[in-house]
Amino acid sequence: MPVPVFDDRVAAVRSFNRFFTRQIGVLREGLLHSEYTLTETRVLYELAQHGDQPAAVLGRDLGLDRGYLSRILAKFESAGMVSKVPSATDGRSKLLHLTAQGRAVYDPLERRSRDEIGDLLGRLGEADQLRMLDAMRTIEQLLDAGSGLKYAQPFVLRTFRAGDMEWITRRHGALYTAEQGWDDSFETLVGEICADFAQNFDPAREQCWIAEMGGQPVGSIALARSGEPGVGKLRLLLVEEQARGYGLGSRLVDECHRYARAAGYRKMRLWTTDQQKEARQIYRSKGYVLVAEEPVHAFGQDMVNETWELAL
């Protein structure tokens, strides 16, 4: 049976939209004191954060009309900010690529945006910041789950609950055995990490998220304390095979970073190996820098341990 929609509820949503629009300042003549519109800045953001991609995918993810997106891209190409490069997997396909000039334009916008949101959050105490972020996540998840729009993401994120650590441990072991040929010692290590996280969980400084599609878990990520003041650890990133290709890994990392900033971390650190090609690509696209590496024999394989860091 259709759910009735009451006029006062519609008015409340519209009122919130106007209020939040004023808060983030997108009604200024130029977004972030620049010559670029909000939509143009969103296009730059997607290319900067998620890397090279087809125009069709970019348009779908942003929900943009093909002609409108084409005009934006033509403007960026003529300014030398965006170019088209061949796909590594299909030479006939072209991907949109943010050039060095495009990056030079985008980086100051990103810094200004981060400063603006930082100022907005700075009006609130830590408890209120986290409460606001939880409310925003709830809105995002509800609208994603209920949306019929073709460009809506097919997954929702939630914080972890009973049974999730066992699932994370089991799926890490199964996937890394199947895809990397690692032995059972890796699953044992993940189990120890999960047990320590759950037993010593600090909700003000740590969090773990589970991604779901159709009510089933398909991904995970965690923010953990590092023991070093101001430094958080990104851990337990996992995306199941059926959930790949939707930008889920990137979304999980973004969620972790948002929470880390609100919790007061100034730097993120993570451990991976040279065998995690897809994950390393995500980390690099977010601005992580490789700071240390060491050849090792672990989990039955020769590999290179890597430490990456990101200034928040």
**pLDDT tens, 68-79?**
889 999 999 999
- Same domain for 246 and 204: yes
Cα–Cα distance between 310 and 256 in angstroms, integer? Answer: 12
Could you tell me if 38 and 167 lie in one domain? no
pLDDT band at 88 (very low <50, low <70, confident <90, very high): low
Domain identity same for 255 and 115: no
Q: Which bin fits 72, alpha (ψ -120 to 50), beta or left (φ > 0)? A: alpha
* Residues 178 and 62 placed together within one structural domain of the fold: no
Angle at 51 between CA 47 and CA 52, to 5 degrees: 90
The total domain count for the chain is 2
Lowest mean pLDDT among 9-13, 179-183, 199-203, 225-229: 9-13
15 and 62 assigned to the same domain: yes
Whole domain around residue 80: which residue ranges? 7-122
Look up the CATH number of the domain holding residue 31. Answer: 1.10.10.10
Looking at the fold, whether 161 and 77 belong to one and the same domain comes out as: no
Query: Which pLDDT belongs to residue 90?
Result: 59
One domain for residues 187 and 243: yes
In the chain, the amino acid numbered 175 is L
Element (H, E) at 304: strand 301-311
Q: What is the mean pLDDT of the chain?
A: 85
Q: Report pLDDT for 30.
A: 44
Are 171 and 287 found together in one domain?
A: yes
**Most confident by average pLDDT, 94-98, 113-117, 233-237:** 233-237
Residue 138 in any domain: the answer is no
Stretch 130-157: mean pLDDT, rounded? 70
DSSP bridge pairs for 137: none
Answer yes or no: is 127 within a domain: no
Residue 128 is assigned to a structural domain of this protein: no
Q: What burial letters (b/e) apply to 185-216, b meaning 16+ CB within 10 Å?
A: ebbebbbebbeebeeeeeeebbbbbbbbbeee
Phi first, then psi, for residue 13 (nearest 5°) are: -65, -45
Q: Are 178 and 116 part of one and the same domain?
A: no
What are the start-end ranges of the E strands in 165-300? 207-213, 216-225, 231-239, 267-273, 289-298
pLDDT for residue 212 is more than 70: yes
Instruction: Tell me how long the chain is.
Output: 312
Decide if 223 contacts 232 (C-beta within 8 A). yes
Co-location of 210 and 283 in the same domain:
yes
Burial class for 103, CB neighbours closer than 10 Å (0-12, 13-18, 19+): middle
Q: What is the DSSP string of 129-180?
A: HHHHHHHHHHHHHHHHHH---TTS-S-EEEE--TTHHHHHHHHHHHHHHHHH
CA distances from 16 to 13, 23, 90, 140, 202 (A): 5, 10, 45, 14, 32
Q: Which of 104, 122, 140 is the last residue of a domain?
A: 122
- In this prediction, residue 25 carries a pLDDT of 58
Are 66 and 59 a contacting pair, CB within 8 Å? yes
- CATH number for the domain spanning 207: value is 3.40.630.30
Whether 236 and 93 map to the same domain: the answer is no
The answer as to whether 146 is a domain residue is: no
Same domain, 13 and 106: yes
pLDDT attached to residue 129:
87
Residue 117 CB contacts under 8 Å (≥ 6 apart), including other chains: 24
In whole angstroms, give the CA distance from residue 136 to residue 127: 14
